[in-house]
Amino acid sequence: MTNFNRPALADSIRTNGATPNPWWSNAVVYQIYPRSFQDSNGDGIGDLKGITSRLDYLADLGVDVLWLSPVYKSPQDDNGYDISDYQDIDPLFGTLEDMDELLAEAHKRGLKIVMDLVVNHTSDEHAWFEASKDKNDPHADWYWWRPAKPGHEPGTPGAEPNQWGSYFGGSAWEYVPERGEYFLHQYSKKQPDLNWENPAVRKAVYDMMNWWMDRGIDGFRMDVITQISKPIDANGKLPGEEGSLIADNPVGEEGYSSPFPFCSDGPRVDEFLAEMRREVFEGREGYMNVGEAPGVTPSRNEHITDPANKELDMLFLFDHVGVDQKPGGSKWDVVPFEVKNLRERLADQQSAVKQAGWASLFFCNHDQPRVVSRWGDDSTEEAREASAKAFALLLHMHRGTPYVYQGEELGMTNAHFTRLDQYRDLESLNSFRQRVEEAKVQGAESMMDALALISRDNARTPMQWDGSKYAGFTAPDAPVEPWISVNPNHAEINAAAEFDDPSSVYAFYKQLIALRHNDPVVAAGDFQLVDATGEHVYAFTRTLGEKTLLVMANLSGRDVDVPADCAALLEGGVNEQQIVISTQGAAHAVASLTNHELRDWEAVVIAL
């Protein structure tokens, strides 16, 4: 069990409702996307040895936990989220011995390692799936196999078992002549969904998880874990199948219905997660488990993360990162960002876990674009730094566990690609083909604009370590270019330039992380909205005992008045000693507040 060089929260302070408080209650997690973090061997792809070489940087930043996106053996159809062998490392990233070395070196520095785990689906090249193609094999029922629709020739259009479409475009069913049936894949056709109704599947998954825990990892981040339970009727039929007692939803503009309303937070999710807890985590110490939870509401988050229910420690909810997408529309139907929508959804998440449970705090990850480009302003260096700090302060002052995505601490921006051939992301490429070329529901120019704003590749360009040719991600004279283009702005935005600059975005993140470690109000104080209607300012208080902090963030590029409710709390005036942290410095904050205003992208925390 790794020991941290930071104070623990006293058990007299309530966090998620557990006693004693979990070690992660004042921790900060840093997500690493291995293929884009650090290339140690010049093949253009980041690897485990590269991560090990950068541990001192991460220790200096002050984070506590490193979450690694998948490094298991994989055909890399979806960049490793299609696993062909759960108990081996893909040669792209190194070896099991490299993983052991990373664990040992991280633990020496007080850093824990959490591995990404994908068990809603496997790769179609996994041995389990290969075996399941034989109806007489013991693995025959390990996936969702279904015959063609009655009266249709198998493998022809319209013969699919129901009308579900994949989230990555096209049908959610793929025909396999070898078996004479279709298998379900909510994602890529190379990512068949596991059948969690089968106890043998669950046992195999738990055995594998225990193998990794025994090897020394500190927990799992579980990909789309709330989609493992599918609704079936009394006859075992999925919605929309011929003769099913569960009706499907209408077909959408792309020609398919969506499995999402049925398979997200399905009927047996609680049962499966509680069983996983018993079979893998009970009796262990020092671990953390967090689940990616598409379709899960804040109230369900409270239930699943309530320690009394013994399911998961944390969930990633997604309602707040959909605020720039048209309600009821496609992910690619983007609308302007409005502060009120973000405030409403984050406040709902905070309120839901007021009595028990815990929140995960994030704006960026490997599936989300860079927040500074998405909702901030990266048009000038000054605006980029200011808006990056404003969103950082806002997020880190909420109650829960913050997640920093690699490069977020530098204020890294979107890729700003202008051509489709610059993208590598399966979802982006498939969606362009489906929406623009096949269904013709969106124009090419509009779709390219949407990709430039929210494509997953915006977060996947190489980490910007310095201003050299390949940003220090790989050697300038490496024989192979990085797997995806380096952002041209790496000459200005990079770790080397920011590391010793006290006014940099990096330095600001260090302050925020230290605050969570050292101030119990930041880690565990109650959350209360102060102004729920303002157009530009997101304001709330954090209170623990007699201490209250007021948080105000102007999320716009214009000067604005301090909201009336906030002004009332500051009626006696503010001095520099009351400024806990500010994006533009204590003196600047006091001057702004004296004028009853917040400057463009100014955010501040005040001790009342």
Active site residue 223: yes
- Which pair of structure tokens corresponds to residue 51? 């991560």
φ, ψ dihedrals at 291, nearest 5°: -115, 135
Q: CA-CA distance, 95 to 472, in Å (whole number)?
A: 23
Q: CA-CA distance, 329 to 331, in Å (whole number)?
A: 7
Q: CA-CA distance, 579 to 524, in Å (whole number)?
A: 19
Q: CA-CA distance, 507 to 121, in Å (whole number)?
A: 40
Q: Which of 292, 311, 324, 367 is catalytic?
A: 292
* Cβ-contact 36, 406 below 8 angstroms: yes
Taking the CA atoms of residue 489, residue 505, residue 70 and residue 226 in that order, the dihedral angle to the nearest 10 degrees is -120
Q: CA-CA distance, 185 to 168, in Å (whole number)?
A: 10
Q: How many residues appear in the chain? A: 608
Q: Which of 223, 302, 306, 600 is catalytic?
A: 223
- Which pair of structure tokens corresponds to residue 593? 């507040």
- Which pair of structure tokens corresponds to residue 265? 């937070």
| Cβ-based neighbour number of residue 150 at 10 Å | 8
Q: CA-CA distance, 98 to 197, in Å (whole number)?
A: 35
Q: CA-CA distance, 303 to 199, in Å (whole number)?
A: 24
* Cβ-contact 161, 247 below 8 angstroms: no
CB-based burial label for 213 (10 Å; 0-12, 13-18, 19+) = middle
Active site residue 292: yes
Q: CA-CA distance, 214 to 519, in Å (whole number)?
A: 34
* Cβ-contact 536, 557 below 8 angstroms: no
CB-based burial label for 465 (10 Å; 0-12, 13-18, 19+) = buried
Interacting residues of 112 by C-beta distance below 8 A, sequence separation 6+: 2, 64, 65, 66, 106, 218, 219, 286, 288
Interacting residues of 260 by C-beta distance below 8 A, sequence separation 6+: 167, 294, 295
Amino acid at 58: L
- Which pair of structure tokens corresponds to residue 70? 């998948």
Strand partners, 257: 164
Q: CA-CA distance, 158 to 173, in Å (whole number)?
A: 11
Interacting residues of 55 by C-beta distance below 8 A, sequence separation 6+: 105, 106, 109, 111
Interacting residues of 379 by C-beta distance below 8 A, sequence separation 6+: none
Q: Which residues are catalytic?
A: 223, 292
